[in-house]
């Protein structure tokens, strides 16, 4: 890891996954039209651009490992779907020439695609300045990574301050502060165990009445900090794997896009298919990967408090779910759906008896609202 | 997950709503069958047949729908209908209530009224002397644990129950309410006023609706002399249920206005 960290907790970190293949999905660049910039069979080095946005080529995805491109799948109009790389060796951080400001660094090293906007959950436009940046240190993998690299996290947070005129807020679940709060870096250490980024956003800087906020995972901030502070490009991320019983099987370290099938089999999953580590994914839970129910007619919403508590909308939670079910975008916007993204709706879909996939319903409404802008 | 059992119950409550509500109603029904088998069995046979028939016909017509939710109002009907009512009268009132209160809207949960209260009110409308009655004391006792289960699971909004009791106490002057008044009031509030589909869904709305139910019970029951009148209670619930969507809309409009003020 880093040579600047004075006292690292673990000498070698969690066990690393050495994948057979690394798959970079174009789905991980929501809102963009990615095109491939490598050919099948080409050799790529760590950090070589693999795909970029057609309209803004500066936004790009880079190779997380050195190896050979074995497949480039494209769809209509040269639009790339995924790029598969066979790594030549294990992924590890490598020294790079880190020049330029935060924006350039993040664009050059493919970290920009880890940023997401709220509303709409898109990769942000580099020209925009958000009103705040929220850093997600809510899950186990992010906390473990932050505890192993507090200096890099601090560096990263300070670097992020240059992207916004507002605060950079590190969101964590109680516990000791993972990074010092200084300057425009703020900490949000409210303790409830089951709230998510949507609750924090709603409370700290809601975008329901306009404005744009960016969110990113703490591990991306650490990667950025390492890039600025030590000149190291680290393409690996920690990931928490959950067994089918719902217990945490443990942390693993894997490069972005690594095939996790082997690790999942060890965790007791019955039929793990090829399952690449997606961008910003730090927890693999079989219950989240479950296939959504076939869409027949939806049942009634039973308005229980447990359902309302999954959303940060307080008294508007049930009316919002009603609006999503009937696809009423204007009412949903009035109830604050701009603060939400698909991932926030998982708990509601699991608890609600209607069988609705609220993630998909929300996406439909958000697409409609985005089109109206 | 390391959730406690209560948390697990509350998370499962929405999916198992029908089962939980039937479990809550099972003990009083059993006691009723043991104490008055002569009237309870024909009543139960009539209402369950009518309810399932309506639900089946609508399920067939729409090609969808679980049908067992209709057993909840059916059981409420058996428990609270007057013993002198004929089985066909109960069946008729319940069928009408189910069709008008739930099935034409798309099934249980899509309507906006408590179907049990609607059925009892329709019975009183259609056959005037047959007003809802307070069941016998052992039956009331047996209904209380089920009520606690519903409150715990979140299937009966507690704010409605609390505000209903407060409203009744305020309107009647809070005097002299022992078990004879308290238990029937509690049962009425939990099983009828705090119907998950009939009550408002916003917190302040639930308080308002509960206060309204409590006040109306006292107001409507005052004509029949002091004490608790089940029939008045049923009408109070129905009236408050009619206002529930309006109350929710009002609460949200006020919240919108306040947010608008604070955001400029």
Mean pLDDT check: name the lowest of A210-224, A236-250, A273-287, B198-212. Answer: A273-287
Structural domain includes residue B221: yes
| Counted domains in chain A | 2
Neighbours of B215 (CB within 10 A): 20
- pLDDT of amino acid A272: 62
Closest-CA distance, B39 to chain A, in angstroms, reads 33
| Averaged pLDDT for residues A200-227 | 88
Q: What percent of chain A has pLDDT over 70?
A: 92
Cβ proximity of B193 and B156 under 8 Å: no
Closest CA–CA distance from residue A45 to any residue of chain B (Å) = 42
Gap from B146 CA to chain A (nearest CA, Å): 17
Residue pLDDT, tens place only, A149-181: 888 899 899 889 988 888 999 988 877 888 888
Number of domains in chain B: 2
Tell me the shortest Cα–Cα distance from A303 to chain B, in angstroms. 6
Co-location of B185 and B242 in the same domain: yes
Judge: A304–B14 Cβ closer than 8 Å, yes or no: yes
Query: Residue A2: what pLDDT?
Result: 44
Give the CB-side neighbour count of residue B205, counting CA atoms within 13 A: 27
Scanning the structure block, which residue is given the tokens 């951080």?
Answer: A93
Q: B54 versus A295: which is more confidently predicted?
A: B54
User: Does A50 fall in a domain?
Assistant: no
Q: Is A287 left (phi over 0), alpha (psi -120 to 50) or beta?
A: alpha
* pLDDT for residue A373: 75
Residues 156-215 of A with CB under 8 A from B: 209
B141 CA: distance to closest CA in chain A (Å): 25
Please name the member of A296, A300, A305 whose beta carbon is closest to the beta carbon of B107: A300
Measure in Å the smallest separation between the Cα of B24 and chain A Cα atoms. 16
Report yes or no on A84 lying in a domain: no
The answer to whether residue A178 sits within a structural domain is: yes
Residue A368 belongs to domain spanning: 305-372
If asked whether residues B101 and B191 sit together in one domain, one would say: no
Write down the pLDDT at residue B3: 59
Residues B160 and B259 in one domain: yes
Task: Express each pLDDT in A102-161 by its tens digit.
Answer: 888 888 888 898 999 988 989 999 898 999 999 988 888 888 888 888 888 998 998 899
- The pLDDT, as a whole number, for residue A193 is 65
Q: What percent of chain A has pLDDT over 90?
A: 11
B152 touches chain A (CB under 8 A): no
Task: Give a yes or no: residue A27 inside a domain.
Answer: no
Tell me which of A232, A248, A272 is where a domain ends: A232
Q: Is residue B97 domain-shared with residue B192, that is, in the same domain?
A: no
**Nearest-CA distance A154 → chain B (Å):** 32
Distances (CA, A) of B87 to A309, B103, B247: 43, 22, 37
Q: Is residue B24 part of a domain?
A: no
Q: Which residues of B touch A351 (CB under 8 A)?
A: 11, 14-15
The residues of chain B scoring below 70 in pLDDT are 1-3, 65, 174-180, 223-227, 263-264
Do B108 and B169 fall within a single domain?
no
Chain B residues within an 8 Å CB radius of A352: 14
User: What is chain B's alpha carbon radius of gyration, rounded to the nearest angstrom?
Assistant: 18
Residue of B201, B207, B259 best to disrupt the A interface, most CBs of A under 10 A: B201
* Residue A198 in this model has a pLDDT that exceeds 90: no
B254 and B202 co-located in one domain = yes
Q: Which residue has the tokens 């590190």?
A: A170
Greater pLDDT, A77 or B166: B166
Domain coverage including residue B251: 156-263
Same domain, B167 and B252: yes
Dist CA A61 CA A107 (whole Å): 9
Q: Which residues lie below 8 Å from residue B239, measured CB to CB, with a gap of 6+? A: B212, B216
Q: Which residues of A touch B13 (CB under 8 A)?
A: 302, 304, 306
The answer to the question of residue A48 being in a domain is: no
Residues of A in contact with B195 (CB under 8 A): none
Domain-ending residue, one of A206, A232, A258: A232
Nearest CA in chain A to B10: A306
Could you tell me the sign of the dihedral formed by the alpha carbons of A92, A140, A113, A215, in that order?
A: negative
- Which residue of chain A has the CA closest to B251? A315
Same domain, A105 and A211: yes
Q: In this predicted structure, what is the pLDDT of residue B176?
A: 55
Contacts of A193 (CB under 8 A, 6+ apart): A173
Residue partners of B152: CB distance under 8 A and separation at least 6: B6, B9, B10
| Predicted-complex ipTM score | 0.86
Tell me which residues of chain A, numbers 61 to 80, contact chain B at a CB-CB cutoff of 8 Å: none
B201 contact residues in A (CB cutoff 8 A):
303, 308, 315, 318-319
CB contact under 8 A, A319 and B11: no
Residue A82: what are its φ and ψ, rounded to 5°?
A: -155, 155
Residue B264: the pLDDT is: 56
Q: Which helix (H) or strand (E) holds B93?
A: helix B87-101
- pLDDT, one tens digit per residue, over A331-373 is 999 888 898 988 888 888 888 888 888 888 999 999 999 988 7
What CA–CA distance (Å, rounded) separates A89 from A151? 28
- Domain boundary among the residues A232, A261, A296 is at A232
| A336 within some domain | yes
Q: Which residue of B17, B64, B204 is in closest CB contact with A315?
A: B204
- Check whether A294 has a pLDDT greater than 60: no
Nearest to B197 among A300, A319, A351 (CB): A300
Three state DSSP letters for B115-127: HHHHHHHHHHHHC
Report the alpha-carbon distance of residue A71 to residue A41 in Å, rounded: 8
Give A188's strand partners. A171
3-state per-residue secondary structure call for A98-130: CCCCHHHHHHHCCCHHHCEEECCCCCCCCCCCC
Minimum CA–CA partner of A351 in chain B = B11
Contact residues on chain A for B255, CB-CB shorter than 8 A: 315-316
């Amino acid at each position: 890891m880093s040579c600047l960290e004075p006292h690292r907790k673990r000498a070698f970190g969690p066990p690393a996954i050495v994948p057979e293949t690394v798959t970079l999905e174009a789905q991980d660049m929501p809102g963009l039209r990615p095109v491939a910039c490598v050919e099948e069979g080409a050799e790529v080095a760590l950090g070589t651009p693999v795909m970029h946005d057609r309209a803004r080529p500066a936004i790009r995805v880079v190779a997380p490992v050195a190896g050979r491109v074995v497949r480039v799948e494209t769809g209509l109009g040269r639009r790339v779907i995924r790029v598969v790389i066979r790594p030549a060796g294990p992924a590890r951080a490598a020294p790079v020439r880190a020049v330029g400001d935060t924006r350039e660094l993040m664009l050059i090293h493919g970290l920009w695609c880890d940023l997401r906007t709220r509303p709409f959950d898109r990769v942000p436009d580099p020209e925009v300045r958000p009103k705040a940046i929220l850093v997600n240190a809510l899950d186990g993998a992010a906390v473990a990574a932050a505890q192993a690299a507090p200096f890099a996290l601090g560096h990263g947070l300070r670097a992020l301050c240059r992207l916004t005129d507002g605060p950079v807020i590190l969101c964590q679940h109680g516990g000791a502060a993972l990074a010092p709060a200084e300057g425009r870096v703020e900490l949000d250490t409210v303790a409830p165990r089951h709230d998510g980024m949507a609750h924090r956003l709603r409370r700290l800087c809601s975008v329901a009445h306009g404005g744009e906020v960016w969110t990113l995972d703490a591990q991306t901030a650490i990667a950025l900090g390492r890039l600025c502070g030590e000149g190291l490009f680290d393409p690996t991320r920690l990931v928490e794997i959950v067994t089918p019983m719902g217990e945490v099987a443990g942390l693993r370290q894997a490069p972005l896009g690594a095939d996790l099938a082997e690790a999942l089999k060890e965790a007791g999953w019955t039929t793990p298919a090829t399952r690449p580590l997606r961008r910003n994914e730090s927890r693999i839970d079989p219950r989240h990967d479950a296939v959504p129910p076939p869409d027949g007619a939806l049942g009634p919403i039973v308005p229980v408090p447990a359902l309302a508590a999954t959303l940060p909308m307080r008294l508007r939670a049930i009316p919002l779910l009603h609006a999503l079910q009937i696809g009423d975008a204007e009412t949903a916007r009035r109830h604050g759906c701009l603060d939400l993204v698909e991932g926030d709706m998982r708990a509601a879909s699991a608890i609600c008896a209607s069988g609705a996939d609220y993630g998909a319903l929300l996406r439909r409404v958000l697409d409609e609202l985005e089109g109206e802008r | 997950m390391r959730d406690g059992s209560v948390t697990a119950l509350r998370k499962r409550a929405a999916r198992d709503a029908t089962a939980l509500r039937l479990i809550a109603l099972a003990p009083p029904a059993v006691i009723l069958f043991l104490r008055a088998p002569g009237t309870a069995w024909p009543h139960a046979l009539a209402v369950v047949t009518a309810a399932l028939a309506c639900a089946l016909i609508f399920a067939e017509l729409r090609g969808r729908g679980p049908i067992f939710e209709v057993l909840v109002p059916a059981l409420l009907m058996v428990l609270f209908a007057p013993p002198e009512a004929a089985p066909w009268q109960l069946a008729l009132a319940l069928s009408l209530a189910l069709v008008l209160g739930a099935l034409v809207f798309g099934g249980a949960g899509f309507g906006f009224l408590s179907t049990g209260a609607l059925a009892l009110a329709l019975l009183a409308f259609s056959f005037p002397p047959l007003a809802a009655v307070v069941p016998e004391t052992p039956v009331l006792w047996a209904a209380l644990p089920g009520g606690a289960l519903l409150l715990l699971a979140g299937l009966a909004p507690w704010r409605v129950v609390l505000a209903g009791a407060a409203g009744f106490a305020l309107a009647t002057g809070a005097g002299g309410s022992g078990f004879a008044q308290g238990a029937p009031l509690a049962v009425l509030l939990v099983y009828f006023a705090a119907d998950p589909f009939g009550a408002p869904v916003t917190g302040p709305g639930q308080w308002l609706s509960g206060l309204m139910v409590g006040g109306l019970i006292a107001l409507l029951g005052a004509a029949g002399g002091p004490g608790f009148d089940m029939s008045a209670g049923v009408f109070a619930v129905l009236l408050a249920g009619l206002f529930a969507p309006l109350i929710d809309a009002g609460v949200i409009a006020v919240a919108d206005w306040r947010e608008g003020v604070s955001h400029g």
